[in-house]
Amino acid sequence: MNDASRNENVLLNEKVHAFHKFFYVDYKENQRGRFLKITEKDGRFRSTIIIPEEAVDDMAKLLTKISEEFSPAERTADERKEFEARQLEFESRRAAEKDTNFNNNSQNASEDI
């Protein structure tokens, strides 16, 4: 694939979904070399980091170490319950915010009529 607007070739692109976020992982190359681009999107916000090719192996080793040493599978039952409860609370708050925004937008639209 070719991203002509930036003169970049996409060598690999994948998407990872984790709870309410999406992570877009692109391995690209341009005239300056290859790089890893990771973009996080959560609906309202987007942030991106660029990792030069020279640091990709070190980052992969670090992520592997984190995955092996701190894997969710290694959590105790109580830690898993606490983690799941925090996630549920966050997702409930997020759903309530969306409902509030929807209701406010609907009310504003009906006032315009």
Q: Closest by alpha carbon to 52, among 27, 89, 85, 20?
A: 27
Q: Per residue in 32-60, pLDDT tens?
A: 999 999 999 988 899 999 999 999 999 99
Q: Closest by alpha carbon to 38, among 55, 20, 26?
A: 26
Q: Closest by alpha carbon to 50, among 42, 38, 59?
A: 38
Instruction: Provide the pLDDT for residue 82.
Output: 82
Instruction: Provide the pLDDT for residue 91.
Output: 78
CA distances from 35 to 38, 80, 85, 96 (A): 10, 35, 37, 39
Architecture of the domain delimited by 1-74: Roll (3.10)
Q: For all residues of the chain together, what is the average pLDDT?
A: 83
Give the tokens for residue 55.
């640091």
